[in-house]
């Protein structure tokens, strides 16, 4: 799935070293310490390749000429504004930005590569949001930060479709896909964890689960094994609503398990228990150690324990 793909994308840090580039033209502005690359721009280092329509390289301050002799030469060099030969501190890329590392790709309208922090930030520049791709899987967000040396990824307002977890349909109809949105996403490869925070929403068919925080865990093949929501969770499915402290979503079994004082509200029925399990395909609900109030239709309220 995409989160795992993003984790894999960062599996190997980009080796430090010089940057290779190609373009149709290169124009330098030594006083501004910038160089402009235009048309069919490609910047690469290690297995990282960034392509775009335009790029601007910002250079570090020039060091005085090494071999300068005499006061005049030293004075001239110290006050100079040389460019090539200085270190590139930062690359800004614009227009049809395409990032590739191995088989994974990202697309955006704008990108900023900071060589000091080793972070590549991708944005849509007011157009379409940046996209991270791995085969059929996609991750989008307002802002994608790729940490080239630590393997981590930060995404602002991520939107993800969990395609691999969708069951195959026998009649050829489109499977119900699980979609995740949040304000922030942090991908921690070392923990094989994707942490969503702030306004997390999981949708599948008519089901919506909301919470302040969710951890997505993966197996080694990159398949999602668990979506763990915590910090106060609310689930809605048609007329049915449930709340709990935690929710555990198993994408393979397509079951949602609520724990931590879970309570189910269903057309006047109110049930609590130790654990509430909802099958997302059949809509069957199991409540362990249930107690609550059932209100059969056309009948007076009946307590049940």
- Residues of this chain that interact with another protein (CB under 8 A) are 15-31, 37, 45, 57, 60, 62-69, 72-73, 75-77, 79-89, 115-116, 118, 149
Q: Pick the closer one to another protein by CB: 79 or 126.
A: 79
Element (H, E) at 92: strand 88-101
Closest distance to another protein from the beta carbon of 59 (Å): 8
Question: Is the separation of the CB atoms in 216 and 224 below 8 Å?
Answer: yes
CA 25 to chain centroid? 34
Rounded Cα gap, residues 88 and 78, in angstroms: 19
Closest distance to another protein from the beta carbon of 51 (Å): 14
Closest distance to another protein from the beta carbon of 80 (Å): 3
Closest distance to another protein from the beta carbon of 25 (Å): 5
Closest distance to another protein from the beta carbon of 58 (Å): 10
**100 closest CA partner among 37, 55, 156, 51:** 51
Phi, psi dihedral angles at 76 (to 5 degrees): -65, -45
Rounded Cα gap, residues 62 and 281, in angstroms: 64
Q: Pick the closer one to another protein by CB: 64 or 232.
A: 64
Q: Pick the closer one to another protein by CB: 113 or 233.
A: 113
Go through 262-271 and write b for each residue having 16 or more CB atoms within 10 A of its CB, e for each that does not: bbbebeebeb
Closest distance to another protein from the beta carbon of 33 (Å): 11
Element (H, E) at 75: helix 70-78
Closest distance to another protein from the beta carbon of 92 (Å): 14
Length of the chain: 305
Q: Pick the closer one to another protein by CB: 74 or 279.
A: 74
Torsion angle of the four alpha carbons 241, 243, 248, 252, in this order, in degrees rounded to the nearest 10:
0
Q: Pick the closer one to another protein by CB: 82 or 260.
A: 82
Query: Going by C-beta distance under 8 Å and a sequence separation of 6 or more, which residues neighbour residue 191?
Result: none
Q: Pick the closer one to another protein by CB: 66 or 220.
A: 66
Q: Pick the closer one to another protein by CB: 15 or 175.
A: 15
């Amino acid at each position: 799935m995409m989160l795992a793909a993003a984790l894999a994308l960062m599996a190997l840090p980009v080796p430090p070293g010089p940057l290779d580039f190609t373009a149709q033209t290169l124009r330098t502005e030594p006083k501004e310490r910038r160089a402009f690359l235009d048309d069919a721009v490609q910047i690469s280092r290690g297995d990282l390749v960034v392509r775009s329509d335009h790029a601007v390289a910002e250079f570090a301050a020039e060091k005085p000429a090494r071999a300068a002799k005499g006061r005049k030469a030293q004075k001239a060099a110290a006050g100079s504004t040389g460019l090539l030969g200085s270190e590139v501190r930062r690359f800004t890329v614009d227009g049809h930005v395409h990032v590739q590392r191995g088989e994974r790709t990202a697309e955006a309208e704008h990108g900023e590569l900071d060589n000091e922090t080793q972070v590549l930030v991708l944005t849509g520049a007011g157009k379409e949001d940046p996209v991270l791709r791995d085969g059929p899987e996609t991750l989008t967000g307002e802002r994608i930060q790729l940490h080239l040396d630590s393997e981590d990824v930060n995404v602002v307002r991520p939107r993800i479709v969990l395609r691999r977890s969708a069951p195959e349909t026998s009649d050829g109809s489109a499977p119900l896909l699980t979609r995740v949105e949040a304000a922030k996403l942090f991908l921690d490869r070392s923990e094989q964890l994707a942490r969503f925070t702030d306004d997390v929403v999981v949708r599948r068919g008519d089901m919506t689960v909301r919470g302040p925080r969710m951890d997505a865990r993966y197996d080694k093949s990159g398949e999602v094994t668990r979506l763990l929501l915590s910090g106060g969770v609310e689930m809605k499915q048609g007329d049915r609503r449930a709340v709990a402290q935690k929710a555990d979503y198993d994408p393979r079994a397509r079951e949602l398990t609520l724990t931590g004082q879970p309570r189910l509200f269903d057309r006047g029925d109110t049930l609590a228990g130790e654990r509430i399990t909802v099958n997302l395909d059949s809509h069957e609900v199991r409540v362990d150690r249930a107690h609550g109030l059932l209100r059969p239709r056309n009948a007076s309220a009946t307590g049940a324990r």
